[in-house]
Amino acid sequence: MFLNIIELAQSLGVEESEVEGWIRNDGLPHVTDRGRLLFDRTQVVQWAELHGLAAKVGFLAPERAKIQDGKKLEAMLRTGGIWRDVPAANVLNLLADIVAKIPGTTPPVRQLLQQRLRASNGLSWALVGGGLALPHPRTPIALGRDAGIFAIVLLRDALAINEPAPDEQPITRLLFFVAPSPRAHLEMLAQLSTALSRGKLRKPIIDGVPDDEIFAAVAAAENTNKKEGDA
């Protein structure tokens, strides 16, 4: 069974640009047919296993993704924080400061992550519409079970990035995360995308409600995902 790039991206819970990066940098098996990228399902599963990735959604597996690695999302947010009235010009500096707070990592690892964030194409933005984006390191690494972090950034002005938003809404709300492992990276991306598109997390973040209400909305989204994953 062959998948096209849209189907593969959906099944792994990532953007198409993420898949293209895996092709360029990590040897993701593929073939080209009349200008289209195609992926053999069996080869993709084997490649994902070798790279520590877990395909949990869509065409590659029947189960809904759920975070099973390390800390809970709400706890990660309390570490990363909710940042308000942040100038768009200061976003990369702020994300680097957030990375410096990741628990359970050494200074050299944090410095490496900061360098990656500042590099050209070091971030994948994962635009979800409504002025929301899910920035995260384009290349996830294994940090350790309790080493992840999650932060919400409410911008003062719109962020200018090269990737067009699906609804052309200016980006003013960021949900930034660094997952403890490549597997958890995909699972966090899927969980947050679902919570923003179909859950009750979108409105509190867009409205910029008080911190306690945002923490409660994140916890509720996490509980909903767990119940659906156990069903």
- State residue 67's pLDDT score: 42
Per-domain residue ranges for the chain? 2-50, 73-230
Q: What's the CA gap between 163 and 147, in Å, rounded?
A: 29
pLDDT tens per residue, range 135-189:
998 877 778 777 899 999 999 999 988 877 778 889 999 999 999 887 788 888 8
136 within 8 A of 179, measured Cβ to Cβ: yes
Q: Name 49's Cβ contacts closer than 8 Å, sequence gap at least 6.
A: none
pLDDT tens per residue, range 59-80:
454 433 344 444 589 999 999 9
- State residue 177's pLDDT score: 95
pTM of the predicted protein model: 0.69
Residue in 207, 226, 227, 185 with CA at minimum distance from that of residue 76: 185
State the amino acid at position 116 in one-letter form. Answer: R
Cα torsion 87, 217, 131, 182: sign: positive
User: Residues, the chain, total?
Assistant: 231
pLDDT tens per residue, range 1-19:
677 888 787 777 678 888 8
Token pair for 150: 């999650």
Q: What is the CATH number of domain 73-230?
A: 3.40.930.10
pLDDT tens per residue, range 134-145:
999 887 777 877
**Does residue 206 register a pLDDT over 90?**
yes
DSSP assignment, residue 145? T
Token pair for 208: 């910029």
Residue range 2-50 forms a domain whose CATH class is: mainly alpha
2-50 and 73-230: same fold? Answer: no
Q: What angle do CA 207, 211, 214 make, to 5 degrees?
A: 60
User: How distant is the alpha carbon of residue 24 from its chain centre?
Assistant: 20
